[in-house]
């Protein structure tokens, strides 16, 4: 069994487990929301069970919801949303690992030039990811200041600053990340085409 086969099997297994967990969590979240909004009897057996077993697990999420000005009745739904996002991130990370491993296998089959091609692909992939993270974090001001996001600003500012001097913004919309993304894709295509031609 190769490593790629193992990663594919793990991804399939985790997809099934995360889906089943999502269905269970969705059921619990909807029931907890119904109790909190008094659509279910708040003194019934289900409500007592949820208050004793589920609500303590949601305390951290509820604190964040309240700090953000949300209603505590929405806490179970926010918890479900967090689960869905986390599950998607885990599956995307596994898919990315499998893709990187396939690229590495292809590059090693081409020899030393293939390794150079691999470095080029991974460098452009990293820069594209940094642009995407930067754009998404700019929509959420508190996220942009996070130390987990700051790396994307350092990795992309060198290409965005000259573009901002050339391209005017459209009101409050800065289109330089979009231009930079397409320029990166074009440059990657050109560099990879030249490298592949040299390897043949």
Residue-wise pLDDT for 41-87, tens only, equals 888 999 999 989 999 999 888 988 888 888 999 999 999 998 998 89
Q: Which residues pair with 170 in a beta bridge?
A: 173
Span 156-170, mean pLDDT? Answer: 89
Question: Which of the four pLDDT bands, split at 50, 70 and 90, describes residue 188?
Answer: very high
Q: Which residues, including other chains, have CB under 8 Å from residue 61's CB and lie 6 or more apart?
A: 75, 78, 79, 82
Question: What is the pTM (predicted TM-score) of this model?
Answer: 0.69
The separation between CA 10 and the C-alpha centre of its own chain, rounded to angstroms, equals 19
Rounded Cα distance between 76 and 62, Å, is 8
pLDDT tens digit sequence for 13-27: 999 999 999 999 999
Per-domain residue ranges for the chain? 1-103, 110-200
């Amino acid at each position: 069994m190769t490593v790629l086969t193992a990663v594919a099997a793990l991804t399939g297994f985790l997809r099934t487990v995360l889906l089943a967990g999502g269905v269970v969590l969705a059921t619990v979240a909807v029931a907890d929301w119904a109790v909190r909004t008094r659509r279910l009897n708040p003194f019934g057996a289900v409500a007592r069970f949820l208050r004793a077993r589920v609500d303590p697990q949601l305390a951290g999420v509820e604190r964040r919801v309240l700090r953000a000005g949300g209603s505590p009745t929405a806490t179970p739904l926010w918890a479900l949303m967090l689960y869905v996002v986390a599950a998607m991130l885990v599956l995307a990370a596994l898919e990315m690992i499998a893709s990187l491993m396939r690229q590495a296998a292809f590059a090693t089959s081409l020899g030393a030039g293939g390794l150079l091609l691999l470095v080029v692909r991974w460098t452009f992939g990293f820069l594209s990811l940094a642009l995407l993270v930067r754009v998404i974090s700019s929509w959420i001001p508190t996220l942009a200041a996070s130390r987990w996001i700051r790396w994307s600003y350092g990795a992309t500012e060198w290409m965005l600053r000259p573009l901002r001097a050339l391209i005017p913004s459209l009101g409050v919309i800065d289109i330089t990340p979009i231009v930079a993304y397409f320029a990166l894709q074009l440059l990657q295509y050109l560099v990879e085409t030249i490298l592949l031609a040299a390897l043949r």
